[in-house]
């Protein structure tokens, strides 16, 4: 198979001006991948800086509540900066050091990847610019605050739909001018080769740990593993721990928004609005019209609000190795509420998509089966979004009062 392809998906559809940059990146990535000391350095860094290995928590109360499979939760929320995004950025940070570059740029939707990149840049001493859709800047002010305090420059993107895909386009536009000293830290398993494969490699640390942990705690493999899918990096991370064991079913849960039969969702693998296409440097299933113009997407979770999906997941879906489902905004808020009340866990709205599908299926499974849900990030840092989703009256009053105080 052609390099950088997963079945018919993937590739590197890049402008010629980036040819040399990608040639260098491929060389350095392949060198690092072949070097056991690099992975060792990465694991040590993540252990020392980001709480790895993250625990696999047995959710006894939720298991009893549903009365079916035993539910285990992989705690990526306990990473530094609160999500699995840290795995990818620290890995790419080590690579940037090897390449001798001094500046990193990133795209961000909700701001998690932006905050993670700004954190990595601070730690490694790189300059950092983060591109963020104007609409997301307005919605995710707290993350903009942290990025700026961490020393990054946040550039609001005013083109297109002013969300994640537009931020990605703008980061590419920066990169074609600045590639001599700048690395583009793509936040997910998308984009031109080697990004999907490279980011999946850094995220595989989740699956490697989870495989070991479930054997220790449960004694056997789980029947199913659930993960939310935006670009797909947390899903690829945990799935890789179980890809070679076909008895483990892998379930990816997309953003169903207001329903996959409406035009307000971000489901590429479920529903019928997506089709094969080539954009942002790679070939995958995109939400687009028949002429190839990208559509606007919607999700309550900004991190899943994206037109494309990992080419690796598109291939695994086509092969039938990963089953795709969708969760609606409303189901997501209900699953989040239940997880808080039953287990004291606050999954991010993104992660809660995986919880929705697991909760639907757990009661139909036997008591001697186990399932794992990847809790890709924590929701408490998203207090503005979550409180808004819950439409909480006392929170609203607090915001109004604080607003009044500031406007005095």
List active site positions.
85, 107, 376
Report DSSP letters for 68-102, one per residue.
SSEEEEEEGGGSGGGBTHHHHHHHHHHHHHHHT--
Least separation in angstroms between CB 178 and other proteins = 8
Q: Closer CB to other proteins, residue 29 or residue 202?
A: 29
Q: Identify whether the C-beta of residue 116 lies closer than 8 Å to the C-beta of residue 84.
A: no
Cβ closest to other proteins, residue 180 vs residue 401: 180
Q: What's the closest the beta carbon of residue 282 comes to other proteins, in angstroms?
A: 10
Cβ(348)–Cβ(378) under 8 Å? yes
Q: Which stretch binds other proteins (CB under 8 A): 204-212, 288-296, 315-323, 377-385?
A: 288-296
Q: Which stretch binds other proteins (CB under 8 A): 8-16, 42-50, 264-272, 332-340?
A: 8-16
Nearest distance in Å: CB 380, other proteins? 34
Tokens for 169, please give them.
């386009």
Q: Tell me, what DSSP letter sits at residue 221?
A: -
Considering only residues 256-285, where is the footprint of other proteins by CB under 8 A?
A: 275-281
- Cα–Cα dist 260/327, whole Å: 9
Size of site (CB under 8 A) for other proteins: 35
Closest to other proteins by CB, 278 vs 383, is 278
Instruction: Report the residue number, 186 or 279, with the smaller CB distance to other proteins.
Output: 279
**121 touches 91 (CB < 8 A):** no
Inter-helix orientation angle 36-49/195-218, to 10°: 70
> Pick from 67, 292, 363, 367: which binds other proteins (CB under 8 A)?
292
- C-alpha 362/C-alpha 60 separation (Å) is 13
Which of residues 293, 341, 399, 401 is near other proteins by CB under 8 A?
A: 293
d(CA 370, CA 216): 13
**Within positions 94 to 133, which residues make up the interface with other proteins, using CB under 8 A?**
none
Query: Which segment (6-14, 231-239, 321-329, 346-354) binds other proteins by CB under 8 A?
Result: 6-14
Output 201 or 286, the one with its CB closest to other proteins. Answer: 286
Q: Name the burial class of residue 290, with classes exposed (0-12), middle (13-18) and buried (19+) by CB atoms within 10 angstroms of its CB.
A: exposed
Q: Identify the bridge partners of residue 286 per DSSP, sorted by sequence position.
A: 275
Is the CB of 183 or the CB of 353 nearer to other proteins? 183
Judged by CB under 8 A, does residue 288 bind other proteins?
yes
- Which residues between 159 and 188 bind other proteins (CB under 8 A)? 159-160, 165, 169, 172-173, 176-179
Name the DSSP letter for residue 363: G
Q: How far apart are CA 123 and CA 102, in angstroms?
A: 13
Site residues for other proteins, window 10-39 (CB under 8 A)? 11-21
Alpha helices in 180-286 (DSSP H): 195-218, 233-239
How are beta strands 370-375 and 322-328 bridged, if at all? Answer: unpaired
Q: By the criterion CB under 8 A, which residues form the site for other proteins?
A: 11-21, 159-160, 165, 169, 172-173, 176-179, 275-281, 286, 288, 290-294
């Amino acid at each position: 198979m052609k390099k950088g392809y997963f079945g018919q998906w993937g590739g590197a559809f890049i402008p010629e001006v980036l040819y040399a940059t990608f040639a260098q990146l491929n060389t350095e990535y392949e060198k690092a991948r072949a070097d056991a000391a690099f992975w060792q350095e990465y694991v040590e860094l993540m252990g020392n800086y980001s709480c790895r290995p993250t625990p696999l928590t047995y959710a006894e109360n939720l298991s009893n509540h549903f009365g079916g499979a035993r539910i285990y939760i992989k705690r990526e929320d306990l990473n530094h900066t609160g999500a699995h995004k840290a795995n990818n950025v620290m890995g790419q940070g080590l690579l940037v050091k090897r390449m001798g570059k001094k500046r990193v740029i990133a795209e961000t939707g909700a701001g998690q990847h932006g905050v993670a990149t700004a954190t990595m840049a601070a730690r490694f001493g790189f300059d950092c610019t983060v591109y963020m859709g104007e609409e997301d800047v307005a919605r995710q002010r707290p993350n903009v605050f942290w990025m700026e305090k961490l020393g990054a420059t946040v550039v609001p993107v005013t083109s297109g739909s002013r969300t994640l895909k537009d931020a990605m386009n703008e980061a590419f536009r920066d990169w074609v001018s600045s590639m001599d000293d700048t690395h583009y830290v793509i936040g997910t398993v998308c984009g031109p080769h080697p990004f999907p494969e490279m980011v999946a490699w850094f995220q595989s640390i989740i699956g490697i740990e989870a495989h070991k942990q479930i054997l220790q705690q449960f004694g056997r493999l789980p029947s199913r593993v659930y993960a939310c899918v935006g670009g797909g990096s947390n899903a690829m991370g945990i799935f890789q721990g179980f890809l070679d064991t076909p008895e483990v079913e892998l379930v990816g849960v997309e953003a169903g928004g207001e329903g996959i039969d409406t035009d307000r969702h971000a489901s590429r693998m479920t529903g019928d609005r997506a089709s094969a296409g080539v954009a942002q440097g790679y070939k995958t299933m995109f939400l687009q019209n028949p002429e190839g113009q990208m559509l606007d997407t919607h999700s309550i979770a900004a991190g899943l609000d994206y037109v494309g999906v990992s080419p690796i997941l598109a291939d695994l879906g086509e092969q039938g190795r990963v089953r795709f489902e969708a969760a609606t905004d409303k189901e997501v808020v209900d699953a989040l509420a239940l997880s808080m009340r039953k287990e004291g866990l606050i999954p991010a709205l993104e992660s809660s998509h995986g919880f929705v599908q697991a909760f639907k299926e757990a009661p139909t499974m036997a008591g001697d089966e186990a399932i794992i849900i990847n809790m890709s990030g924590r929701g408490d840092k998203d207090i503005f979004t979550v409180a808004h989703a819950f439409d909480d009256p006392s929170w609203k009053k607090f915001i109004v009062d604080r607003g009044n105080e500031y406007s005095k």
